């Protein structure tokens, strides 16, 4: 018998069919690639996209921009040609790593390089994908950190976004559940990922008051029953905004949450991206 989570008696859980894994010049190659490979399976396709950030390239052209040699020396003009060669070398490194892993695992792959703004190019390329994977440790970092990029990505995508932080994809799978339609979609994704990684699944009920927790628990139980999900579930209650932000700081496992019209406890998704230490799976 196969459950709605995709589990079979042998425990084979299908991977995502099409995964778009995005890189830029500042992103570690292995983090995003290894996350995409962990989520792929037989019949999957991984589409690599390297974005040459136009904002960075414009910055290199400014006459007053200087670089300081590490540890010593006076500031000096940027060697634009050298930095552009380094960007192309990073793209070649990402392409070679993806092609080698795909060949070894017999997974279909493709790779292309584009010039533009990371969030815009990812949204444009994601049309046929089931999932977008990105390493948030370096992607398009600017004065505001990763938050502006996260905001633009979440606004432009209509499919799940997995933000790795370099940690291996491993349990526990924690789902934020506030009873909204988006939270139900997050719980469905959590069932799939939990079945793939191994449980137990953790459901974190989030509410403004303690009195709201019990109705949320019943709603989550009903949704899991509709999915025919039978493995054990660990339940946790989080009451209030500050408690939620503290809970999101857990360093292990992976968080799944929704980025819908009603964010959990009014905390916008990009704020949760900022405080979370563990990888994040954001459901649209």
Expressed in percent and rounded to 5, the helix, strand and coil fractions of the chain are 40, 25, 35
Condensed to tens digits (0 to 9), the pLDDT of residues 182-194 reads 999 999 999 999 9
CA–CA dist 232, 201 (Å, integer): 7
Instruction: Decide: helix, strand or coil at residue 3.
Output: coil
Taking only the tens place, the pLDDT of each residue in 103-128 is 999 999 999 999 998 889 999 999 88
- The strand order across the sheet containing 161-164 reads 108-116, 45-53, 18-24, 131-135, 161-164, 280-283, 254-258, 173-177, 201-207, 233-239
Band of pLDDT at residue 99, cut at 50, 70 and 90: very high
Q: Place 40 in a pLDDT band, splitting at 50, 70 and 90.
A: very high
Mean pLDDT of 67-92: 70
Q: Tell me the pLDDT tens digit for each residue of 211-251.
A: 999 999 999 999 999 999 987 899 999 999 999 999 998 88
Q: Are 106 and 84 in contact (CB under 8 A)?
A: no
User: Span 67-88, mean pLDDT?
Assistant: 65
- With contact defined as beta carbons under 8 Å apart, do 50 and 112 qualify? yes
Task: Tell me the domains of the chain and their CATH numbers.
Answer: 18-164 (3.40.50.12370), 173-283 (3.40.50.620)
Q: In the structure, what pLDDT confidence band is assigned to residue 272 with cuts at 50, 70 and 90?
A: confident
pLDDT in tens, 134-163: 988 765 555 555 667 777 887 778 899 999
CA–CA distances in Å: residue 103 to residues 37, 70, 94, 100, 121: 12, 38, 14, 5, 26
């Amino acid at each position: 018998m196969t459950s709605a989570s995709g589990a079979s008696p042998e425990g084979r859980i299908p991977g995502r069919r099409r995964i778009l894994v995005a890189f830029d010049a500042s992103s570690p190659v292995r983090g995003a690639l290894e996350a995409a490979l962990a989520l792929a399976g037989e019949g999957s396709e991984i589409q690599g996209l390297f974005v040459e950030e136009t904002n960075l390239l414009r910055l290199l052209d400014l006459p007053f921009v200087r670089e300081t040699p590490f540890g010593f020396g006076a500031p000096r003009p940027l060697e634009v040609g050298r930095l552009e060669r380094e960007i192309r070398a990073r793209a070649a490194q990402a392409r070679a790593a993806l092609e080698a892993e795909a060949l070894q695992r017999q997974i279909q792959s493709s790779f292309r390089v584009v010039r533009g703004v990371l969030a815009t190019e990812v949204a444009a390329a994601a049309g046929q994908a089931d999932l977008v994977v990105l390493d948030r440790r370096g992607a398009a970092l600017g004065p505001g950190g990763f938050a502006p990029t996260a905001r633009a990505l979440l606004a432009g995508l209509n499919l799940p976004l997995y933000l790795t932080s370099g940690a291996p994809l491993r349990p526990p799978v924690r789902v934020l559940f506030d009873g909204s339609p988006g939270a139900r979609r997050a719980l469905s994704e959590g069932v799939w990922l939990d079945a793939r990684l191994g449980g137990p699944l953790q459901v974190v009920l989030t509410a403004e008051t303690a009195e709201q927790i019990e109705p949320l628990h019943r709603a989550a139980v009903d949704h899991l029953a509709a999915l025919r999900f039978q493995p054990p579930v660990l339940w946790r209650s989080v009451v209030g905004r500050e408690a939620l932000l503290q809970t999101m700081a857990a360093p292990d496992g992976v968080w799944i949450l929704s980025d819908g019209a009603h964010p959990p406890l009014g905390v916008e998704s990009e704020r949760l991206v900022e405080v979370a230490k563990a990888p994040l799976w954001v459901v649209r």
